[in-house]
Structure 1
Amino acid sequence: MITLGIILLIAGFLLKISILWTLGILALVVGVILAILGATGRAIGGRRHYF
């Protein structure tokens, strides 16, 4: 999710498409939240790690 967010941010910036920029930010935030919850040992959706 974090990688997808970064790719969408770069693509949105280079192609000047604001929806890609917005989706990139959302994917990046969700990826960071899942990574933090996984690192604390809390299982999300039956999985401990999302990578």
Structure 2
Amino acid sequence: MRMLLRPYLFNKAYFININKNTNIHIYDDSSCDLLTTSPEQQEMFIIDTIN
């Protein structure tokens, strides 16, 4: 018997990187908020993630 289970978070999930001053808040299976201390850091984080 095969059970199809989807991942689910019951609590809030945050990933904090103190070296890059970033905070990622995952709020559903395909979305997140990215918090940084400056717009330049946000742009660098996005470029690093794409590459």
**Under TM normalisation by the shorter chain, which class is it?**
0.3 to 0.5
TM-score by structure 1 length? Answer: 0.33
Higher strand share: 2
Greater relative contact order: 1 or 2 (C-alpha under 8 angstroms, separation 6 or more)?
A: 1
TM-score between the two structures when normalised by the length of structure 2: 0.33
| Structure showing greater Rg | 2
